[in-house]
Structure 1
Amino acid sequence: MQQQWINKRARIYWYDQYALNEQETAFAKYDPERIVGELLFTGADIVALYAANQFGIAYYPSRILPQHPGLRGRDYFGELCSRLQARGVKVIAYINWLNSTHAEWNLVPLGKTQEECTREKPLVSWADPSRPNRRVQNLAGGAWECPCPLSPRAGQMVEIAREIVTRYHPDAFHMDMFHGVGICLCARCRKALEVVLGTPEITAEVLNARWADYVAWRTEVSADVVDAVSAVLREHGVIAAHNAGVPLLPVSYGFSEKWLPSLDVFLSEAFDAFLTHPTDLNTTSIVVRLQHAVGKPAWILRTSAQIHYAHWPISEAQWRIYASACKANGCKAFGPCGIGAYPDTTTSAQMLRRVKEAFDFYMEDADLDEGAKSAAKVALAFSWATRAHFDERPASGTVEWAEEFTGWARLLIEEHLPYDIVIAETMTPAELGKYDLVILPDLANLSDAACAVVREYVSRGGRILATGSTSLRDERGKTRAEFALADVLGVASQGSVKGHFAVQRPIEPAPASGTFQRVRSSGSVLSRYVRVDPAGSVGGVKDPLPLEVMDWPVVVRHSYGRGQSVYVAFDIGRFYELHGDEHIGIWMAELVDGLLPSRQIVVKAPRTVEVTLWEQDAPRRVIVHLANRTVPWTLPTDRRQPTEIIPVHNLQLSLPCEWPNPKVSCRRAQISSSVEAGRLTVSVAKLGAYAAVLVEPGDRSGISS
């Protein structure tokens, strides 16, 4: 299903109205006209309204779920939905996978027992113990209970969706928190897994050993639930906008590429707001690129409250950081989520003002998004199969491959190199042919078909930079005897070792850590492995004394057909993600520059400024987006969140220009420009949160403006 409104830049207000199950103040000041007025004040184009909250309690008269007693029978969702739609606002009906009426449905994580996880808590005063769906527990704030994906909750969600869309006809529908359902070993799951895994003894060790079978089953179960809910929506022309989370998080949560056919938009949150590893201020830009790669409209939500609070607004600087990232990367809908409104339905006046200011800032340059396409010449490959099968202990929720991927993604942002993300499982030679360089970040799990695409791309003159175990396993996790891309990379596998080592560098050996692939090379060896003191580091850290250069190659350059490859024999992206040290970033940049014919755009600016390059046909122009993330604390903590964006002065940009006398202008900054020998040089006097440099054909008189 495709409707135009989901694929345009828009302001989305994810209007979370939390309430405890036993709370006298809940809905005490409910006034639909006031609430609608507040939402309209912000300028929201799309509003998500709770139809059922984080405890599975309905905010409308439901035949399936208990309704919150604070509403006294009033139809919160229906009254707000009809009023907003009458004013031209798109409405999303918002329900939650979490539940408080059926403790026996609860997920049982690894290491927990059925009894402790499914023990019913005390009931609220208004519960009806005689009716299963009315046994409402008195849960504390944040003490949410997550049902197992095999529980009757799955079928209940389908019936709730049908009840809501047939009665209210919302524009879209959202199921939240299903993207975060972890490994479950309840009686239902154990029974199914005994068949899948062939043993009644299901432990972390068994799951790790049989991960390919487990994850195929788990992701199928998860996708079936989403598909069943979306099937109801599509019967009624309602957009499926479920929370897809962030694919950088563990596959054990259930979200996978199998969800994609059931999603009309890819809705995600700025997860660095929760200080979740491996996220930071660059993550939103990375996720929006990934949303584009899977072919879905990109929708991003940012929790609107500070990390210690539920209702107090984040700073203006924080809003601008995320809005700028979204503008620079072609995001469509952007806006706040989180608990937001107080239980009595009032909202902090400062919260509403901040949201309005963020929306105004986000929409200022909406014309730059219309029909714009990325002009990046570097591609970074993402692999669903590698995400699913890479880690050695996936049952523990490790994200080792995500660290390799994000290490490279952040390096490219910090180096001001425009890039796109491509999907290894669906990429084609024609798609790759648009790029000067394709980076394969430790893509261990590549199918024969994906390897054939890479091989054809390089043979035709393409360039790849591959790291670590790329192509050493197939898409199901089975280890190959040899790199499937051995002929392209010019290496042959001789096993691997894990630990600290050093690497030949021009001045002296430099420290490195990770999983090192021992290879024999038929290409040109640019750097070799340096053995370190087996006694270890005197400080108990990661740079033991370098001893001697060994024969093992670390960097190999190889020609294949008309193209080139560079192979790095360890997970250097993960090394950078975990350490961020200057010498690692310099080395990675050298590897990239050694393959690129030239940089698409040369930028003189701090590494905290993101630069993206887009093109439009009508009007015909090139757009250089500048998103400034220079803040006092580049890795925010629960004690320090950004409160200001530090202005950057005297930025310089240089890029090829096809027009001899271009018209060069800038939104939100003062610039000067000149053209010489086919290159445009732009100087930006002062960059705040965001600016956009526009390059268009000049008039025929030869005079540019």
Structure 2
Amino acid sequence: MSLTRREFGLAGSAGLLGAMVPGAAMSAVRGEKKAKWYETIKRIGQTNLNERDPELGEPAKWAEFWASAKAQAVVLSISGPIAFYPSKVEFFHHSRWLGGRDFTGECIDAARARGLRVIGRMSPDHQWYDEATAAAHPSWFRRLPDGKPVLFDPNVAITCQMSDYFSEQLPAMLREILDRYPLDGMFTNGWPTAQICYCDTCRKIGDPKSAAYKAALDKRTDETLALFRKMFLNKNAAGFFTNSFFGGFGGGDVPWRISRSSSFSACDAQSRPKLEDPVWDGSIDAKIAQSLMRDRPYALVTSGYGSVPGNDWRHISNTTAESLSRMAQTAASGGVVWHHMLGMTQSFSQDQRWQELVKPFFNWLAANDIHFQNKRPLGKVGVVISPGSMEQYKAPAGNERAIAVEGICKMLVENRTAYDFVHANDLGADRLAQYAVLILPNLALMSDAQALSLRQFAQRGGSLISTFETGLYDETGKPRPDFALADIFGIRKTGERQKWNPPAFTPQSMHYQALKGTSPLTDGFGNTTWIAGPLWRVPLAPVADAPATYMPLAPGGPPEMVFANGGPTNEPTVVARQVGRSRLVYFAGDHDASYERADMPDLGRQLANAVRWTLGDDAGLTVTGEGLMEVNAWETQAGFAVHLLNYNAPNALGGRLRKPIPLGAQSVTLTLPSKVKMQRVDLLEAGKSVAFAQDGRTVRFTLPSVGFYEIAALVV
């Protein structure tokens, strides 16, 4: 089902007072440092050229669309397996349909004539493969254990990062391109990657799965990126050169290391990794990028074609609401919206349906640009992530590396709690100052320095929620005798992690938790004395006033035997305590992972109760009403903005999202970081203002309805 311009609710939004004031202009008015062009950019359009585009592609038509869509930059394929201009670099294969044209130059000229900046797309991972190239440069190509090249296509092979393709051929291409064309930025597609290669060069380094090989590959990556960046910035110091990340929690610490020197970041995830993933996967990717870049710009690439890995229709448009939702999630998470289609001829002549979604959305973003020029996020909850720890952690059987974080995200979205990711390598006091609560979802590997930063956060009055094996290993994966933060939480382990192990004759058996009295941690569990237990747990020594304790395995069948054989134990499954202003909750089980895996609401409620109790009166943002909705809040150039993403739609939890069902009234309470007087509250999708009440730093208002993606813009 397609969404029309009217259904998206764009009518009237462009007329809001102040909406047309660009962020850079407002910065100048307020006396702030003038931003670089890419620091305020919010809309990028990409069309990957294919080899046949020089035959029928129309650069003027392509550029005219992106200009009319109010894109601020376009991304153009300039290197990889195909040259779209008459290159003089040997073995840089010219398109067989080029016919002597400078198709690259025509595209750049058409874009610049319409005021569009141009970002070049390099593809270092692919090289044209034929007999002549293979014979002249066999070392360029990544090899399988049997010595055969790794082919992406009969005429395209995957390159080896350790070869002179990266140190000689790519610099020659880049040098020629930069001499010929005025590019505003560049990014590398599909690189860097953690390659596995058995070419002669790599065999001399060692086993491609060894630590020594990884160290050599990391060193090579850093050197190559530095070379490419220097070459580009020597030509255009006002631009940027960056690499792409693939999204998700993979890559270990490589994204963190590389992002230290990046002035702009591009996450090239494009779509949900699996059909069964929840729709808010785009928000997760954008928030990961935010944790890496903080106040530097980060983009999330969204594909406009029908693609989910394993089910790819890359030649045609995706007409569901999926790509539109992903672009909205990017904007709501503070990122740069970057839309991507394949083939100029395909996407501008053969199937143009994607344009019906992109153009209205980009126009709406442009009309309200000042409300997307963010200063800082206002969420009070930080979820600490450590992709490096996930890579090294020997997770229990059946546990995917990121499942604990995914369970926490699911719970926070369902409970409309605004949150950010905080990278475990970035736990300084200044970084953590904005948060009232930090969640540590099975942050198993933890250095002494990280433990100290978290302990100091609690000593300053911050609250912590921790799950399962958090802090039971040092940063190398070596087991600790006890939790790194045992003193903070008041806990002591009495054994190693355990899984429920039902007898073979009754596989439905499970274990449970016995509730102990009433408290904020048991809220919502009326009319029951026991609830579901997680699949894994760490045995703990007894503590006073534990909200819940472990119950032994209870048979699941036959029906006549479905009763508890033993009563509650004194082994805590949850420990909660308050020390000064700091509220501390530890879950002994993998509550977050079990919630993600099994969708047992008891576990989700326990986690949500912990968030509510630790936040107390410092929630920052609350949004009440019916429906599945993700919320974010930002301080902006114009004032403040509350973003509401409506996920109340078929296929939100798997598949491709259909048009969301409009939601009814939603009541919002926002606590401002400082006392400033609001002038009005504008609803950017609905195109109207609503009444509000302000009491000091607290602002309250009600949205009569929420369509697809609403933003309440609080203008100072």
Instruction: Go from structure 1 to structure 2 and tell me whether the alpha carbon gap of 1:217 and 1:119 turns closer, same or farther (over 3 Å shift).
Output: closer
Instruction: Go from structure 1 to structure 2 and tell me whether the alpha carbon gap of 1:245 and 1:92 turns closer, same or farther (over 3 Å shift).
Output: same
Question: Quick one: distance in 1 between partners of 2:640 and 2:360?
Answer: 27
Q: Does 1:118 align with 2:149?
A: yes
**Which runs of structure 2 are paired with 1:91-490 in the superposition (5 Å)?**
91-96=118-123, 97-101=125-129, 104=138, 105-108=140-143, 113-115=145-147, 117-118=148-149, 138-139=154-155, 145-155=157-167, 156-194=169-207, 216=215, 218-236=217-235, 237=237, 238-249=239-250, 251=252, 255-275=254-274, 279-295=277-293, 296-307=296-307, 308-315=312-319, 317-331=321-335, 333-342=336-345, 346=349, 348-392=351-395, 400-490=400-490
- In the TM superposition, residue 444 of structure 1 has moved relative to its aligned partner by 1.5
- In the TM superposition, residue 429 of structure 1 has moved relative to its aligned partner by 2.2
- Report the counterpart of residue 646 of structure 1 in structure 2: 661
- Report the counterpart of residue 622 of structure 2 in structure 1: 602
Q: Does 1:589 align with 2:614?
A: no
User: Which residue of 18, 39, 42 corresponds with 2:66?
Assistant: 39
Question: Quick one: distance in 2 between partners of 1:656 and 1:84?
Answer: 43
For 2:683, the aligned partner's letter is C
Contact 2:48/2:341, CA 8 A, preserved across alignment? yes
Question: Quick one: distance in 2 between partners of 1:584 and 1:359?
Answer: 40
- Report the counterpart of residue 24 of structure 2 in structure 1: none
Question: Quick one: distance in 1 between partners of 2:151 and 2:384?
Answer: 46
Instruction: Go from structure 1 to structure 2 and tell me whether the alpha carbon gap of 1:498 and 1:165 turns closer, same or farther (over 3 Å shift).
Output: farther
User: Which residue of 565, 590, 604 corresponds with 2:584?
Assistant: 565
Question: Quick one: distance in 1 between partners of 2:579 and 2:380?
Answer: 20
Question: Quick one: distance in 2 between partners of 1:163 and 1:232?
Answer: 11
Instruction: Go from structure 1 to structure 2 and tell me whether the alpha carbon gap of 1:191 and 1:350 turns closer, same or farther (over 3 Å shift).
Output: same
For 1:615, the aligned partner's letter is E
Name the count of aligned residue pairs.
636
Question: Quick one: distance in 2 between partners of 1:545 and 1:220?
Answer: 58
Contact 2:248/2:284, CA 8 A, preserved across alignment? no
Q: Does 1:666 align with 2:706?
A: no
Deviations 1:491-549 (A, max 9, x none): 2233212346422345243334444222335664222222215x77779xxx9978543
Bigger RCO of structures 1 and 2 (CA < 8 A, at least 6 apart): 2
For 2:512, the aligned partner's letter is A
Contact 2:334/2:372, CA 8 A, preserved across alignment? yes
Question: Quick one: distance in 2 between partners of 1:490 and 1:544?
Answer: 33
Q: Does 1:693 align with 2:684?
A: no
Contact 1:310/1:340, CA 8 A, preserved across alignment? no
Question: Quick one: distance in 1 between partners of 2:406 and 2:151?
Answer: 41
Question: Quick one: distance in 2 between partners of 1:477 and 1:227?
Answer: 31
Instruction: Go from structure 1 to structure 2 and tell me whether the alpha carbon gap of 1:687 and 1:73 turns closer, same or farther (over 3 Å shift).
Output: same
Unaligned runs of 5+ in 1: 20-24, 122-136, 195-201, 698-705
* Secondary structure, aligned partner of 1:88: coil
Question: Quick one: distance in 2 between partners of 1:3 and 1:164?
Answer: 27
- In the TM superposition, residue 376 of structure 1 has moved relative to its aligned partner by 1.4
Question: Quick one: distance in 1 between partners of 2:177 and 2:452?
Answer: 47
* Secondary structure, aligned partner of 1:530: strand
Q: Does 1:79 align with 2:102?
A: no
- In the TM superposition, residue 568 of structure 1 has moved relative to its aligned partner by 0.9
Instruction: Go from structure 1 to structure 2 and tell me whether the alpha carbon gap of 1:545 and 1:43 turns closer, same or farther (over 3 Å shift).
Output: farther
Contact 1:385/1:475, CA 8 A, preserved across alignment? no
Segment of structure 1 superposing worse, 3-12 or 184-193: 184-193
Deviations 1:667-690 (A, max 9, x none): 223675454877644222221112
**Cα-Cα RMSD:** 3.3
- In the TM superposition, residue 438 of structure 1 has moved relative to its aligned partner by 0.9
For 2:249, the aligned partner's letter is L
- In the TM superposition, residue 365 of structure 1 has moved relative to its aligned partner by 2.1
Instruction: Go from structure 1 to structure 2 and tell me whether the alpha carbon gap of 1:343 and 1:461 turns closer, same or farther (over 3 Å shift).
Output: closer
Deviations 1:287-329 (A, max 9, x none): 2223222223121111111234223222263343123222322
Question: Quick one: distance in 1 between partners of 2:683 and 2:305?
Answer: 32
* Secondary structure, aligned partner of 1:356: helix
Question: Quick one: distance in 2 between partners of 1:364 and 1:345?
Answer: 24
Calculate the TM-score normalised by the size of structure 2.
0.80
- Report the counterpart of residue 133 of structure 1 in structure 2: none
Question: Quick one: distance in 2 between partners of 1:188 and 1:569?
Answer: 48
Contact 1:468/1:569, CA 8 A, preserved across alignment? yes
- In the TM superposition, residue 164 of structure 1 has moved relative to its aligned partner by 1.8
- In the TM superposition, residue 452 of structure 1 has moved relative to its aligned partner by 1.0
Contact 1:501/1:531, CA 8 A, preserved across alignment? yes
Deviations 1:114-169 (A, max 9, x none): 24x42889xxxxxxxxxxxxxxx744xxxx64223323332233332233223323
Contact 1:532/1:544, CA 8 A, preserved across alignment? no
Instruction: Go from structure 1 to structure 2 and tell me whether the alpha carbon gap of 1:526 and 1:224 turns closer, same or farther (over 3 Å shift).
Output: farther
Deviations 1:2-44 (A, max 9, x none): 962212243211111123xxxxx55322443343334333332
- Report the counterpart of residue 21 of structure 2 in structure 1: none
- In the TM superposition, residue 458 of structure 1 has moved relative to its aligned partner by 0.7
- Report the counterpart of residue 519 of structure 1 in structure 2: 540
Percentage identity across paired residues of the two chains: 21
Instruction: Go from structure 1 to structure 2 and tell me whether the alpha carbon gap of 1:338 and 1:399 turns closer, same or farther (over 3 Å shift).
Output: farther
- In the TM superposition, residue 445 of structure 1 has moved relative to its aligned partner by 1.8
User: Which residue of 86, 90, 94 corresponds with 1:61?
Assistant: 86
Segment of structure 1 superposing worse, 366-375 or 501-510: 501-510
Contact 2:272/2:282, CA 8 A, preserved across alignment? no
Contact 2:58/2:344, CA 8 A, preserved across alignment? no
Unaligned runs of 5+ in 2: 1-33, 501-509, 516-524
* Secondary structure, aligned partner of 2:105: helix
Question: Quick one: distance in 1 between partners of 2:475 and 2:246?
Answer: 23
Deviations 1:238-271 (A, max 9, x none): 41132111142354xx943221134321211354
Calculate the TM-score normalised by the size of structure 1.
0.81
Question: Quick one: distance in 2 between partners of 1:528 and 1:422?
Answer: 31
* Secondary structure, aligned partner of 2:664: strand
Instruction: Go from structure 1 to structure 2 and tell me whether the alpha carbon gap of 1:562 and 1:160 turns closer, same or farther (over 3 Å shift).
Output: same
For 1:244, the aligned partner's letter is F
* Secondary structure, aligned partner of 1:590: helix
Contact 2:53/2:343, CA 8 A, preserved across alignment? no
Question: Quick one: distance in 2 between partners of 1:430 and 1:668?
Answer: 35
Instruction: Go from structure 1 to structure 2 and tell me whether the alpha carbon gap of 1:84 and 1:347 turns closer, same or farther (over 3 Å shift).
Output: farther
Segment of structure 1 superposing worse, 597-606 or 282-291: 597-606
Contact 1:12/1:45, CA 8 A, preserved across alignment? yes
Contact 2:317/2:352, CA 8 A, preserved across alignment? no
**Which runs of structure 2 are paired with 1:3-14 in the superposition (5 Å)?**
4-14=36-46
* Secondary structure, aligned partner of 2:97: helix
